[in-house]
Amino acid sequence: MSIKQFVSHNAFDFLEPYGIKISSLSEVISKAKAGLIISSIKIIEVLFGLYSLKAVNIPLFLTFRRCGILTTMMVMYMWKGDQPGSVLVISSAFVVMGALVAGYETFDNNAIGYALIMGNNFGSAFVNVIAGVYNDKKLVNAFDLNFFFATIGLPLSYAIITYNGEIIKLQEIFFGNEKGDVDMTMISYICISGSFGILITMTALLCVTINGPISMNITGIFKDVFLTIVGFLMFSDAKVTQSTLIGVAFSLVGATYFCWSKYQSMLEANLASSKTAGAKKNKMQ
């Protein structure tokens, strides 16, 4: 960012064909309002997600994450006034029904955890919708969001781990414990996790810009269904029940129906376009 500002304005331009645009310092400052708004909501989303994972296991977290399609519909209506169509309503009904069926057996024990997950869903919905609105006007890009997210997130993370008394453990990971041993494995995990976080922000912003916020929920449903099954296989604190399998099936049907309906609409639009083009060609002849 500073290199692009003070050394060469054309620095890192070779990354732009790959969808990666590095902003200069002055460009980032001019986008501060949009960047801080989106990044602040993203921080809230992450906090809800972290604390909800302390209350419920990963498969159940992913189960209620599928309700994100409902929160996105609500936020789109509140923020943009968009009313959902019949296809989206039917799809979301199946998805939400699947989440409720899968999680109802443990709802009494994990009500607070589920409430935190819904907070995470609303945070994610606001991030996607607002990012889509701003990016339609080309006001922010993935680099800007990562920069402002780090600007807010790093000091906040430091404050949280200091408050929880975990700062010593973090220092031991990077600088060594009493024996002088540096935990290179954990450092590698942190670097890999951070790298994937940057990649997720980039791809999510591109997906929201091109396909809209709902697309993030639909692709997320397929991902969460897959990860739910993997989670049951990998973690001993989660047991597969009949209601869980039925719930996963409902959600999968809802997401598949949405994709199939959109695909059919695309075919009809292409057919109508071909007919229009053919009619114009015949008139010219």
CA distance 140 to 207: 14
In the predicted model, what is the mean pLDDT of the chain? 78
Average pLDDT over residues 194-200: 79
Note the pLDDT of residue 2. Answer: 64
Q: Is the pLDDT of residue 39 over 80?
A: yes
Report the pLDDT averaged over residues 145-173. Answer: 83
CB atoms within 10 A of CB 95: 29
Q: What is the pLDDT of residue 18?
A: 63
Is the pLDDT confidence value at 10 over 80?
no
Comparing 70-79, 123-132, 183-192, 217-226, which segment has the lowest mean pLDDT? 217-226
Q: Looking at residues 37-55, what average pLDDT do you find?
A: 86
Instruction: Tell me: pLDDT of 182 over 70.
Output: yes
pLDDT at res. 284: 63
Answering whether pTM is above 0.75, one says no
Q: Which candidate, 192, 246, 252, 200, places its Cα nearest to that of 226?
A: 252
What is the greatest pairwise CA distance in the chain?
Answer: 87
Domain boundaries, the chain: 1-30, 31-270
> Would you place residue 4 in the very low, low, confident or very high pLDDT band (cuts 50, 70, 90)?
low
Distance CA 229, CA 244 (A): 10
Q: Fill in the DSSP letter of residue 110.
A: S
pLDDT at 136 over 80: no
What's the pLDDT score for residue 107? 66
